[in-house]
Amino acid sequence: MKEFFKMVFATMCGIVLLSIISGILFMISLVGMIASSSAKTQVEENSVFVLKLNGVIQERAAADSPLNMLLGQADMSEMGLDDLLSSISKAKDEDDIKGIYIEGGVASFDSPATAQQLRDALLDFKKSGKWIIAYADQYMQTSYYVASVADSVFLNKTGMIDFKNR
């Protein structure tokens, strides 16, 4: 009987010790994640902001699941217009960013107003005296409209522009 209580006590001590160690590791991980998410991105001198016009550009990106964000598996393929406008505004105020390179592609916009707002933000960026260059293998009508704000618009020599007459 004495051996039984000894084993039960040893098991309980092991469980408590494991819980304490797991709790400490969880707290360290949580503090690390919070610190890394609030860290400001350091922009190198003479940097170029790359704006990829691919995929669906919506007014607001759908929120990813908290578990995916916690595990670092958040989907960044769909950025919302609000994210893009905020990024362009920050690039405008950042002295180390010298210009914007628009990498065109097959982008579809939620509405023509979305494309208009993005184009207006790029026009505002140009007022800061910085340059904008656009390049694509192919332009859809709205993505070409957004890229037309650039100082130079380039198209691959085997590329195409898809205009629709409405």
Q: Is the pLDDT of residue 31 over 70?
A: yes
Residue tagged 């503090």 (tokens): 31
Are the C-beta atoms of 80 and 61 separated by less than 8 Å?
A: yes
Give residue-wise pLDDT tens across range 105-147. Answer: 778 887 888 889 999 999 999 999 999 999 999 888 888 899 9
Are the C-beta atoms of 93 and 127 separated by less than 8 Å?
A: no
Give residue-wise pLDDT tens across range 47-68. Answer: 899 998 888 888 776 665 555 5
CA 150 – CA 144 distance, rounded (Å): 10
Counting every residue, how long is the chain? 166
In this prediction, residue 75 carries a pLDDT of: 46
For the chain, state the CA radius of gyration: 25
Please state whether the predicted TM-score (pTM) of the whole model is above 0.85. Answer: no
Give residue-wise pLDDT tens across range 63-107. Answer: 655 555 555 554 445 667 888 898 899 999 888 899 999 998 778
